[in-house]
Every structure is written in C-alpha cells, then in structure tokens.
Amino acid sequence: MSGPLLSARGVTRRFGGRVACHDVSFDLWPGEVLGIVGESGSGKTTLLNCLAGRLVPDGGAVTYETQSAGSVDVHRLSEARRRLLARTEWGFVNQDAREGLRMGVSAGANIGERLMAVGARHYGEIRREAADWMARVEIDAARLDDRPGTYSGGMRQRLQIARNLVSKPRLVFMDEPTGGLDVSVQARILDLLRGLVGGLHLSAVLVTHDLGVARLLTHRLMVMQGGRVVEQGLTDQVLDDPQHAYTQMLVASILPV
C-alpha cells in the first residue's frame, strides 16, 4: 500500500457549548505509532473516540484504508460495517480493562471471541492460540478458564491487550494502556507492547499523559491543549526540542525522560 492507513481532516467535536477537540488533521502511515499527549481534559480521549468511530464528530472526516475494500469514511459506514471493521481490522485498548473485556466469560473466551470474529472455527486451535497468547502476555495458562473478574488490574490489562492483538489487527487505538497501574506492572506492559508493535508491524494511535511512555512507544507525537493540536512531529524532536510554550512547560515539568 502506498497511502496513509488513517487520515483525519478537520476533526471537531463539541459537548454543549464546549469544544472538546478542534480542527485536528493528520495522516497515519502503515507501521507508525502516533502518540497523543496533553493535560487532563485536553481532548485526547474525545479525539481517539472520533478516530475509532465511537463518537461522531461535529465537523471533519476520518478516512481509513481497509484491507480489501478500498478507503472508507469511518463515520459514513453503517453501524454493522463499522462494528465488523472494529472486530477484524482494529483493536481498541481501553484505559479501564473492564470496559474492553467481557467480564461474564472466561479469559480464554475473551481471546477466542476475537479469533472467531476473523473466521476461526476449530475449537482446539482457538484454545491453543488463546493459551499461547496468555503466555505472551505472561499470564499463567492455568488461568485460561477463570473470569477476568478474578484477575488483578495489571493481569486484566494484559488480557485486554491479548484479546485485541490475537487477531493481528492492522490498527490499534489505545487510551492510557498503563494508566492506574503500578510502576513494575507498567514496565511489563510497555515491554510487551513494544515487542508486539515492532514484531507485528502494526500501526497505532496511543493516548497517554506519560511522556516516558510516549518516548518508548511512539514514532510521532501530537501535543494537545484545550482541544487543539499545538505541536506535532517526530517524538524525540518534540520532547528534546519543543517549540510551543505549552510543550516546553510539559517537558520541563517532569523528570528527564
């Protein structure tokens, strides 16, 4: 493929009178990981949800280059087609793993469900692959039949990542995948994501307020303030030579990353 995988043009979303995200445009190319950083309330989650078709923007458009059906306007797809896309070509890692998992079924079923969505039918193979992914995210395969409610927060997050990546999506949206976890669990998840993103050659849009996470996982960075993108560029360039006053403040206010 020669063009971008995902394109946003002028994406704008308001809640009541308040602008949550304003006039955001960018292209995401295959294999790229784009980070979105900014303070709380700056519109990161709103933008991510607009990109993934979970929230309808008031203005602008999001275009996605599908595997086999050419490019589509994400917000003009029927609900059924958007859901199909979300299950087969995309992944979405929620900040709260409980929202991204089905809490009423076993861990194995959580992983297997995604495989079935992309056509797997052989029960033994689905189970084997689910067990293999449990190992990849460092969860004891003996816990395969347990429900996620019996897992710790860090295990749940790793399970959510396995559920999303097992079907080898082309594009993954992640909202604070390490938020709310203690530092050693964060390091494990980051290490895991780093290996998977590099190894599967997937593209991703990653929302984080942690510049260290952004440095480690992303190629490019967008800095948001008050719903607007105030600066974007190569991740190390934005962090080491920030141009905008807000980015300089953000970089200066944390420990070296």
Ligand X SMILES: Nc1ncnc2c1ncn2[C@@H]1O[C@H](COP(=O)(O)OP(=O)(O)OP(=O)(O)O)[C@@H](O)[C@H]1O
Q: Which chain residues interact with Mg ion by CB under 5 A? A: 45
Query: What's the N-to-C CA distance of the chain in angstroms?
Result: 34
CB under 5 to 8 A by kind: which of other proteins, Mg ion, ligand X, none does 29 bind? other proteins
Residue 58 found at the interface with other proteins (CB under 8 A): no
Residue 45 found at the interface with ligand X (CB under 6 A): yes
Q: Which of 9, 136, 147, 188 is in the footprint of other proteins by CB under 8 A?
A: 188
Could you tell me if 202 and 195 are in contact, meaning their C-beta atoms sit under 8 angstroms apart? no
**Residues numbered 196-255 forming contacts with other proteins, rule: CB under 8 A:** 198, 215-216, 219-220, 233-234, 236-237, 240-241, 243-245, 248-249, 252
Residues 117, 123, 127, CA angle at the centre, nearest 5°? 90
For residue 174, the cross-strand partners are 93, 206
Residue 15 found at the interface with ligand X (CB under 6 A): yes
Instruction: Report the nearest approach of Mg ion to the CB of residue 245 (Å).
Output: 23
Instruction: Report the nearest approach of ligand X to the CB of residue 45 (Å).
Output: 3
Beta strand segments in 109-236, E: 171-175, 203-207, 220-225, 228-234
220-225 and 90-93 beta bridge pairing? unpaired
Instruction: Report the nearest approach of Mg ion to the CB of residue 39 (Å).
Output: 10
DSSP assigned state of 3: S
**Residues numbered 47-76 forming contacts with ligand X, rule: CB under 6 A:** none
Q: Report DSSP letters for 30-72, one per residue.
A: TT-EEEEEESTTSSHHHHHHHHTTSS--SEEEEEEE-SSS-EE
Q: Which of 136, 190, 200, 226 is in the footprint of other proteins by CB under 8 A?
A: 190
Q: Which of 23, 32, 39, 96 is in the footprint of other proteins by CB under 8 A?
A: 32
What is the contact surface with other proteins in residues (CB under 8 A)? 29, 32, 187-188, 190-191, 194, 198, 215-216, 219-220, 233-234, 236-237, 240-241, 243-245, 248-249, 252
Q: Rule CB under 6 A: which residues touch ligand X?
A: 15, 18, 20, 38, 40-46, 209, 240-241
